[in-house]
Structure 1
Amino acid sequence: MTHAKPRPFTLDELRAYLIEVFPQVWSRGNYAIEEVGPMSASVRLHYHPDHLRPGGTISGPSMFALCDLALYVAILHEIGRVKLAVTTNVSINFLRKPEPADLIGRARLFKLGKRLAVGEVALYSPGQEAMVAHATGTYSIPARGDDAGS
């Protein structure tokens, strides 16, 4: 039996789905999906003083969360309604101190298989060319339908 590749979410469908499955993340208004494309996504972290660490820069945990979320958005855009795609590994390099302002996470997938996705995220301050952080990550994708157990 041949299975058709799932149709990617439109941007509006993806936004609605994420609000449905992760209302706790989206209801605060911290994040916005700016764009999605083939094997890619751009997600914005809206600045809030809660994201700061001592020294007046965006905290590492806030940057990490943006990287993880941007990868998740890029993956879901490609595979559709899969609730239990989960992070198995993320490695992040902090390159420079971002100003207390919004951050943009640009995710790009390198591999998207049946059970594994691998990609990277570059974090930027809006209007700046230099990356503030770079992350690579791997997600586990659960078996779907007839693929269960294979």
Structure 2
Amino acid sequence: MTPVMSSQEVSAFLDEVFPQIHAGGRAYSVDSISDGEAVVRLSATEMHLRPGGTVSGPAMMALADLAAYVAILAHIGPVALAVTTNLNINFLRKPEPGDLLCTCRILKLGKRLAVVDCAIAGEGEEDYVAHATATYSVPPR
């Protein structure tokens, strides 16, 4: 599955149609786009932490949801109204301080639905801190 948008194009599109992801500063960035896949980074700030100094569950859910959206957009083009219909996440271990990377792989890209597998890990780490699956509704093209 070949992408139709580059990471720079997806980033510019998000800045245009979804600027609220940068409220409080630029914590999320698109690291890469490749065949059937996207990698999105969360540079966690104080607002993403929970007591105990670990990245919060809601911050990791937002990362997974955004990364799934990025993967889908990169492969269908700039369709702002693709929306999440389901997001399931399992928190596996406490993330160490530092950036988190969410690697999303498209499992199915149909006419109406897209299903994405998301793995979240600390930068340079092999062990996942969370795993999610997301389903998106894709509007008619």
Q: Same fold (TM over 0.5)?
A: yes
Q: Normalised by the shorter chain, which TM-score bucket? A: over 0.9
Number of aligned pairs?
A: 139
Which letter maps to 1:8? V
- Answering whether residue 80 of structure 2 is matched by residue 83 of structure 1, we say yes
State the TM-score, normalizing by the size of structure 1.
0.88
Partner of 2:19: 23
Tell me by how many angstroms 1:26 deviates: 3.4
CA distance in 1, matches of 2:46, 2:30: 21
Q: Secondary structure at the match of 1:72?
A: helix
Percent of aligned pairs with the same amino acid: 55
2:6 — aligned with what?
10
In the alignment, residue 92 of structure 1 is paired with which amino acid? Answer: I
Q: CA deviation at 1:143?
A: 1.1
| Match for residue 31 of structure 2 among 25, 29, 34 | 34
Task: Give the alignment's TM-score, normalised by structure 2.
Answer: 0.94
Structure of greater Rg: 1
Tell me how far apart the structure 2 counterparts of residues 92 and 41 of structure 1 sit (CA, whole Å): 18
1:46-125 equivalences in 2 (<5 Å): 46-125=43-122
Alignment CA distance shift 1:9-1:100 (3 Å): same
8 Å contact 1:18–1:26 — kept in the other structure? Answer: no
Distance 1:7 1:90, change over 3 A: closer
| CA–CA separation in structure 1 for the residues paired with 2:80 and 2:48 | 27
- CA RMSD in angstroms, aligned pairs only: 1.4
3-state SS, counterpart of residue 63 of structure 2:
helix
List structure 1 runs of 4+ shifted beyond 6 angstroms. Answer: none
Gaps of 5+ in 2: none
